[in-house]
Structure formats: C-alpha cells, structure tokens
Amino acid sequence: AQTVTQSQPEMSVQEAETVTLSCTYDTSESNYYLFWYKQPPSRQMILVIRQEAYKQQNATENRFSVNFQKAAKSFSLKISDSQLGDTAMYFCAFMKIRNSGGYQKVTFGTGTKLQVIP
C-alpha cells in the first residue's frame, strides 16, 4: 500500500515571498503520478500541479513548481510570489498507474495549511 506524508501541518509566508511545502511518499511502484491539490476555504479541491514519475523534468505551472526526487521519494511544492489567494490547505497525492485501465485510486496526505500574510 502507498502512503503519503506531509510533515508540516501549518506554514505561513509573507505576501510576494516564496514558500516550499514538503511531501514524501512510500511505494514499490515504478510508474505513477503525483499531484498537489489546493483546498481554499470554499472547500473546492483544485488540482494545482501534477508530475509523471517517468519524467525527470520537474513540472511547473505559472508560480507553482515541484522538486521531484524519485530516488528519495520526495515531491515538494514551491510557490513563488505568494498571493493572498494562495491561502488554503494543500494536499499531496499519489496515484498508481493501473495497467489494465479502470478508475484511479488516489492516496492523499494529511495536508499543510498555508497562510499568506499581507
């Protein structure tokens, strides 16, 4: 079974600064996806960024980027130029690729609550 660990329950960052959220995972799979989801106070879980394990290049989406270290099983999220709207819970998630197709089973971490301070 896969596990996802987020060791930082809460973090804060000044507006316009950079913050990094940590995530480690444990799996014996070689082919999988990793995700960061954002859950603002509105409760809508929104996909922020995803990374395919077979790609060595780190994914980026505008101000969001990841540092994917496959051997270390680490998947951190960097938010640059933090904005007030980035205040939310952030969940790291793992998805095994099913060779026979079918639904996706995603394992989530416990989340990191990020507060952006004006």
Q: What are the residues binding another protein (CB under 8 A)? A: 4, 9, 31, 33, 35, 37, 42-47, 50, 52, 91, 93, 95, 97-110
Q: What is the largest CA-CA distance in the chain?
A: 48
CB of 38 to another protein, least distance (A): 11
CB of 30 to another protein, least distance (A): 13
For another protein, give the closer residue by CB, 63 or 98.
98
For another protein, give the closer residue by CB, 38 or 82.
38
For another protein, give the closer residue by CB, 11 or 106.
106
CB of 79 to another protein, least distance (A): 19
Name the amino acid, one letter, at 21.
L
For another protein, give the closer residue by CB, 7 or 14.
7
SS3 labels along the chain: CCEEECCCCEEEEECCCCEEECCEEECCCCCEEEEEEEECCCCCCEEEEEEECCCCCCCEECCEEEEEECCCCEEEEEECCCCHHHCEEEEEEEEECCCCCCCCCEEECCCEEEEEEC
CB of 50 to another protein, least distance (A): 6
